Structure 1
Amino acid sequence: MGGKYRITGDKYPRMRRPSGRRRIVLGAVASLAVAGLLGWGGLQLVDVFSGDDEASAAGGAKDCPTRPASADAARKAEPKAFPQPRKITVNVFNATPRGGLAKETAAELKKRGFAIGDVGNATKAFDKKVEGPGIVLGAKSAADTALPVLATQLQGAARQTDARKGGEVDLILGSKFKDLATKKDADKALAALTRPAPTPSKPESSDGKNC
């Protein structure tokens, strides 16, 4: 061409193909993108299946509700062996300054079926030294037999044992003694004392298997 568009020299502009390095970079980026998509899809599948397993486990747990001990188990438990009040001889001693307290208390215990032994003032070891409502005192062999039965008659009574050999037990009235427990409350306490503890049973699933 002529004029101002005339080409001079012996070199001409050429269109170059993209370099090999650029193609490698583009291919690597595409591969990473594909690998990421595949990994993400795999995680989604794992979550789906693991969620089903957890739901199944939760459903299985719901199939195993806890159940209270059955009446049969309670009937099989043997009642504790405690002596009847009529077989317990009680000595009633007054460790307070109030007169006639031991006699009145002994009369009430007799009405409730206890056998009564000695009645009077407490010995020096206890006289005016019992700060609570009272003490039930007996031989070590009475710790789990006569003493608990007698203690049902006086709320807050302390239990003690000594070296005596006989089967009699003492009720020593303390400074905070006001009265024996009402007969109704004493009977409830005695019934609870002799009631056997129920044996718990293992819970079972809906299909009869132990959980």
Structure 2
Amino acid sequence: MSDYYEGGRPERSRRVRAGATLAITVLVLFFAFWYALSYYRADRAAPPGGDSTSATCRYTAPRNITVSVFNGTQRNGLAGSVARELRTRGFTVAEVTNSPTPLTKGVAEVRSGKAGARRSLTLIRHVGNPERVRDSRQDKTVDLVLGPDFTELVKLASVPACARD
């Protein structure tokens, strides 16, 4: 028998297949490492503190939010009861009083400046469907003005987990 047959040399085709397999394996490992490294870098680049709890959560933890609650209705004690509930949920309540300008429609308004925008998103998740109002304040505080259609805060179980931690 001869080592040579009609289809070509078997050892050369084995070497070509082995080389191709090795090249593909190295490429797959390279891209897997690159993909894992991108996640590692993204995790390390996230700002420390309460403004970002994960790559998918854009809410601030309630313990890092200072909110003032204003009653924009004629219902007595509404701001106080809402403020108590917000405190039990971890918010820091700064002021509780009647609104100087009552709301004539809607559930509520959540007011903040640019610096408090992320914090206002968290509060909105607890209030339901308020109107979001941006004002010119420079700090990160948020105001909640309760309107005539307000009945209660959203049930805590319905609030996204990262907005209530």
Which residues of structure 2 form unaligned runs of 5+? 1-34, 43-54
| TM-score normalized with structure 1 length | 0.50
Distance between the aligned counterparts of 1:181 and 1:189, measured in 2? 15
Letter in 1 for 2:159: A
Corresponding letter in the other structure for 2:75: R
Q: Which amino acid aligns with 1:103?
A: G
Residues 20-54 of structure 1: per-residue CA shift (max 9 Å, x gap):
xxxxxxxxxxxxxxxxxxxxxxxxxxxxxxxxxxx
Question: Structure 1 vs Structure 2: percent identity of aligned residues?
Answer: 33
| Distance (Å, rounded) in 2 between the aligned partners of 1:132 and 1:113 | 25
1:155 aligned residue = 128
CA displacement, residues 53-73 of structure 1 (integer Å, 9 cap, x when unaligned): xxxxxxxxxxxxxxxxxxx89
**Match runs of 1:36-75 below 5 Å:** none
Rounded Cα–Cα distance in structure 1 between residues aligned with 2:152 and 2:108 = 10
Partner residue of 2:110? 136
Secondary structure (helix, strand or coil) at the match of 1:170 reads strand
- The 5-angstrom pairing of residues 190-205 of structure 1 reads 190=163
Q: How does 1:9-158 map to 2 (within 5 A)?
A: 76=39, 78-124=55-101, 127-129=102-104, 131-143=105-117, 145-158=118-131
Deviation at 1:187, TM superposition (A): 3.9
**3-state SS in 2 of match to 1:153:** helix
Shift of 1:160: 0.8
Structure 1 position 175 matched with structure 2 position 152: no
Match of 1:58 in 2: none
Root-mean-square deviation (CA, aligned residues, Å) is 2.5
Bigger radius of gyration among the two: 1
- Which portions of structure 1, spanning 4 or more consecutive aligned residues, are displaced by more than 4 angstroms? none
Give structure 1 stretches of 5+ with no counterpart.
1-71, 195-211
| Residues 75-110 of structure 1 deviation map (CA, whole Å, 9 limit, x = unaligned) | 947344532110100100000010000000000000
Residue aligning to 1:29: none
Shift of the alpha carbon at 1:184? 0.7
Provide, for residues 128-167 of structure 1, a one-character-per-residue CA deviation record: whole Å limited to 9, x for no partner: 43x1110110012222x10101101011111111011222
Q: Residues 181, 81 of structure 1: CA spacing in aligned structure 2 closer, same or farther, 3 A cutoff?
A: closer
Amino acid at match of 1:179: E
Q: TM-score, length-normalised on structure 2?
A: 0.63
